[in-house]
Amino acid sequence: MAYLYIIKDPSKALTLTKRGGCACYRFNTIREYLHDEHWKCHDESSRDAKIRRWRFGEDNRDKVNKTILLVGETGSGKTTLLNTIINHMIGVKFEDKVWFEITEEEGENQYICQTSAVTVYEVHVETLQTSLTIIDTPGYGDTRGADHDKTIADHLGELIESYVGIDRIDAVGLVVKASQNQLADIQRCINSVLSFFGRDMKDNIVILITHSDGLPPTNALNSIKNAKIKCATEVDGEPVHFLFNNRQCEPHEENQAKHYKRFWSLGDESTEGFFEFIQRVTEKSLKMTGNVLKKRIQLEACLRDLTANINKVSEEENELKKMNDIVINDKAKLDNNERFTFKTRETKMKKVPIKYHFALCDEEATCCDVCEKNCHFPGCTFVDNLYWCTVMSQGKCTVCGCSYNKHTKENKLYMPVTEEDMKTNEDLKREYQDVLEKNVGLQHNIDGKLTEKRQQISQLLENAYKVIIDLDKIALHQEYLNTYVDFDVLITKLSENNQHDKAQKLKEIKDRAQADKDPKEFGGKSVLNL
C-alpha cells in the first residue's frame, strides 16, 4: 500500500474514512486560522475564519516547495482535482486501490464551506524531496454574485500581505468543466479571477478541465479562446490545458475496473504534465498581484469618500440656496425685525457601532478622527499597527492624506446623520450679518463656503484617476474596473473641472474594460495590449 512507504507512522497520520474496493484515507492535518497576522490553532475561531491552513507533516525549509492556486466556479470539481494532484505527488497507483484526501469530509464545517474562506493546504512528506502548497478559493461566479467574488479577492490580498502569507506562486489553475461551452459561462467565472492578478502572471495561468472523457475539449477551449482569456499558450496559440475525469476514486465493480483505470490514467498523465509545466515555468513573485489588490482597496476607499463628498456638497449647496431664497423673499421681515421661523437640515458625521448598520458585526474599520472619514471599510483586518494598513502609503492615508497615527481601528465607523432644526430670523441675522448689511443676497457667498469641500472633491478625483491609471497598467484583466468604477461620473466631474485630457484617458480605459468584458462587441478583438 502506498501510504506504508511514504508516511512514517500511518496509524497517526491517517484516518480511514471508507472501506471497500478502494479504501479512502484522510490526512490528519494541523488546522490553523490566520488571525492578527499569526497562524493560530483555535477551534473557536474557525466559524468566522477568512483564511485557514490545513498542514500535513513538518515544514522543511531545505526542501523545494511548489505553490499552486486553484480557482473556479462552484461545482467545477476543484476538491477532487486537488486530491488528485496530492495522490499523484505521493505516488499512488490505481493498483494500490487506495485514495487519499486532505480536504474535509462532507458535512464538516459546512458553514465555512459556504463562506468566502480561503484554504491553504500544505503537504510535507518526509520521504519526498518536494513539498506542495495548494491555495483553494471558494467557488466563483455562483449565485452570491460579484460582491462575493470581490470578497474572495480581498481575502487573498490579506493572505499575500500578511507576514505569514504567500509571496510566490508557481501556477494558477483555472478549473473549468468540460461541459462549459458557453462564452458567458466562461467569462462569468474567470474574468473576476483574472482581474486581481498582475500582468506578469499570464504565463503561469493554465486551464484545468474537469469531468473530461479524455477526448479533445473543443467546445470549452473555443469558448476560452473566444473570451480572450489571458493564460499560458502553446506554440500554436492553444491554451495550455490538462484533462481530469473526477471519477477515478469512485467505488466500482470488478468488471468496470478497466474504465476506471482509464479515468485514473487520464488524471495521472495530466498531473504529470501539469507538474512538468510547473518545473518548466518561472515562479512569479506576488508583488505585482499584491499591488493590484492593494490598489483596488485604495480605489474603493477613495471612490466611497468621493461619493460621500459629492453628496454632502450637494446637500449643503441646497441648504445655502434655501437660505438665499429666505433672505430674498423675507427681506421686508428681516428689515423690520419681524419674527419668523424656518426649518434647516444639517448632515453631520457621527461614529456608530458597525453592527447597527451592517450584518458583518465582526468587522473593524480604520477611520480618520480628524476628517471623520471611513478610510478602510469593509475588509480592514489583521494589522494592529496602522502604519501597515492597506490604505496607508509611507505613513500617510491615501484617502484623506492624514498621518496614520491620526486614525483609529475599531468596531465603529462614521455614518452621516441628518439633523433638523428650527431657526428664527435672529439666527439668520447672526449667521449672515455681514452679507445682510451689504443689502445683497447670499448667492455670491455659496461658492466661498463650499470652496474647501470642492477642493477635497478635486483631490479625490485626482487620487482616483491616478489609481485607475496604475491598475490599467498592472492588472491582468479589467473586469474589476468595469464592474466597480462608475466611469461616467468620473468623466463628467473631470470635464466639469476642465481636465479634458484626463476625462478622455478614462474614456479610453472604460472602452478597453468593456472590450475585456465582451470582445464580441468589439469585433472579437481585444484592444488591451499585454
Question: pLDDT digits over 444-499, tens only?
Answer: 566 666 777 788 888 889 989 999 999 999 988 877 787 778 899 999 999 998 99
What distance lies between CA 40 and its chain's CA centroid? 23
Beta strands per DSSP E along 273-428: 284-285, 341-353, 364-368, 373-380, 392-393, 396-397, 407-410, 412-424
Cis omega (within 30 of 0) on the bond before 251?
no
β-pairing verdict for 98-101 and 23-27: parallel
Return the sign of the alpha-carbon dihedral for residues 210, 214, 219, 223.
positive
Question: pLDDT digits over 58-84, tens only?
Answer: 888 888 899 999 988 777 888 889 999
What is the residue-averaged pLDDT of the chain?
Answer: 80
Cα–Cα distance for residue pair 317/449, rounded to 1 Å: 9
Cα–Cα distance for residue pair 397/386, rounded to 1 Å: 10
DSSP designation for 73: B
Return the sign of the alpha-carbon dihedral for residues 516, 189, 224, 134.
positive
Cα-trace Rg, the chain: 29
- Tell me: pLDDT of 38 over 70: no
pTM: predicted TM-score of the whole model, two decimal places: 0.76
Higher pLDDT: 287 or 181? It is: 287
- Tell me: pLDDT of 516 over 70: no
- Tell me: pLDDT of 282 over 90: yes
Q: Which residues pair with 228 in a beta bridge?
A: none
- Tell me: pLDDT of 502 over 90: yes
Question: pLDDT digits over 104-141, tens only?
Answer: 754 444 444 445 688 899 999 888 888 999 999 877 65
Nearest CA-CA partner of 413 in 373, 471, 458, 466: 373
Q: What confidence category does residue 290 fall into, taking pLDDT thresholds of 50, 70 and 90?
A: confident
Nearest CA-CA partner of 432 in 420, 417, 422, 444: 444
SS3 407: strand
- Give 72's contacts (C-beta < 8 A, 6+ positions apart): 78, 139, 140, 173, 174, 175, 176, 189, 208
- Written in H, E and C, the secondary structure of 82-104 is HHHHHHHHCCCCHHHCEEEECCC
Q: What confidence category does residue 48 fall into, taking pLDDT thresholds of 50, 70 and 90?
A: low
Percent of the chain with pLDDT over 70: 80
- Residue found by looking up cell 474599520 in the block: 365
Which of 7-16, 34-43, 495-504 has the least mean pLDDT? 34-43
Question: pLDDT digits over 345-393, tens only?
Answer: 888 888 888 876 555 445 788 999 998 888 888 767 667 788 888 888 8
Calculate mean pLDDT across residues 299-304. 85
CA 203 to each of CA 176, 208, 374, 480: distance values in angstroms, whole numbers, following the listed order: 18, 15, 38, 21
